[in-house]
Amino acid sequence: MKNKIKVLLTGATGNMGFEGLKRICRHQEQIELVLLALDTKADREKLKKYTAQDNITVHWGDLTCYEDVLSCIKGADLVLHVGAFVSPAADYHPEKAMKINYGSTSNLLKAIRETGQSETTAFVYIGTVAETGDRLPPIHWGRVGDPIKPSVFDYYAVSKIAAERIVIESGLKRFVSLRQTGIMGPGMSRIQDAIMFHNGFDNVLEYVTDRDSGRLLEHLALYYAKGTLPETFWGHIYNIGGGKECRIDTYSLYKTMYAKIGITRLEYILDPRWQATRNFHGQYYLDSDKLEDYLHFRHDTLDYFYNIYIKNLGMTGVLSRFLCSLPGGQKLMGTMIRNSFRKLARTEHGTLHFLENNKEEYIEAFFGSKEAWEKIPDSMRKVKHYRNWDNVQLLDHGYDETKAPEMLHLKDMVKAAAFRGGTCDSLSMEEGDWKTPLSFTCAFGHAFSASPRLVLEGGHWCPDCERKSWNYGERAKRDHFFAQVWYPLHGKGENREVPKTVSELLM
């Protein structure tokens, strides 16, 4: 490894990327940093103090423009691809999400290959927990290799899944996909969007803070520059999570947040009939310690977010606590917040909007049915919450995971394909080869190729099915692997197919 490496960082003005920039730029002796950022007034202002640093070069351009990407990739030793068009904005603009998230990744990989750097440029892709969709109790613990299952209408997840697939199958000597969880920080505390009603009370997330996410990028780049990042790190998929201190369910998160502004009776604020009961991503991780063992990035707990939340409220938080200390004050303050939430829930992607306008596909996705919604209690006092958070239901990945990776055999792939309702059609495979694509046919008759890494460690399967629609009910009937994440949360008769309006093939 060279004494000084060239690192291309995308998304440097976003939550994770900016925290990474602030930390990586301090290591001038080890790292030359290249940024590709949009030429906007806001981005120029945010990066103003960094443009004068000797070890930083800023290219003003667009990740979806191949020539801009090519100009930045030449000579890069490491690419940290953090840039993305994320939710909730991505929910309103599916085509833009695919163009940016898939298109940028495709451009970067193409540029690496065309500059002859496939052996020398290491590529870090930031994926998302949204790739595996909703994992409500009792299947709320997960790990890489579990089924890819983007929540219905989650086009951000759809775009990131398509991009992750080409990263894993890129043929680069060194790559990783790091599936980012919910990022706690100033950005999250300022979100005012109907997406808050998609996150059900019993949904869980193992969050990570923006600062720890930045520390992750810093340590990855620094360790790579110093030659201390083990070669075993590369070629895998990891879950980014803050660990035990950052695991929480939505109900407990709200309870703590509102208690800090003096509201201890959630029925004054929240209406359980406005909150979706499913179809939002999240899980606790069984394997997030793997990444921590490599990169040693965890420092913060949920207290960091609560402090940010209070700080951002400023005098509003002070006044709320004072008002709530007075007789009748808590109910008054709660009513004001509740009224603002009702207005938000009636916006385009709000649950009340779905219900009041009889948006059947959305009602079914987020509640199961109108009849199921009608059975939801009308007050938080009547809602029963899941409590058995430590109960783990380990999903079967369809092959013998106790075998050493170098012992992986064609028979294992045949077994895994059958467990997924399909067939492995290749007649030979080099033992222990996780990289070379094999031929498969899915339960619906689609022929495709995929590496063992993509299927077994990534949880991916048929790209044709993934592109076409959310056809989960029918898939679960044929695919035992997928059924593990469908039937615990859905009835046998839930077979609605929802077509997808965009795919990477349209880019």
Task: Going from the first residue of the chain to its last (507 residues), give the mean pLDDT of each consecutive group of 10, the final group possibly shorter.
Answer: 86 96 96 96 94 92 97 97 95 96 98 98 98 98 98 97 98 98 89 93 97 98 97 98 97 96 95 97 98 98 94 93 95 95 96 97 97 96 94 97 96 98 98 98 98 98 97 97 97 94 87
- Angstrom CA distances, 20 to 12, 210, 301, 380, stand at 8, 9, 18, 40
Structure-token pair, residue 266 = 């959630």
Count Cα atoms within 13 angstroms, Cβ side, for 371.
0
pLDDT for the residue numbered 2: 59
pTM: 0.96
Instruction: Give Cβ neighbours of residue 426 (< 8 Å, ≥ 6 apart).
Output: 410, 413, 438, 439
Cα 462 from Cα 236, distance rounded (Å): 20
Q: Which amino acid is at 420?
A: R
Q: Are 273 and 387 in contact (CB under 8 A)?
A: no
Cα 25 from Cα 136, distance rounded (Å): 40
> Residue ranges of the alpha helices (H) in 93-141?
94-114
As a whole number of Å, the end-to-end CA separation of the chain is: 37
Cα 405 from Cα 399, distance rounded (Å): 12
CB atoms within 10 A of CB 302: 18
Its CATH architecture, for the domain 5-244+281-302, is 3-Layer(aba) Sandwich (3.40)
Residue with structure tokens 């004050």?
Answer: 329
All structural domains of the chain with their residue ranges: 5-244+281-302, 249-279+304-382, 405-458+461-506
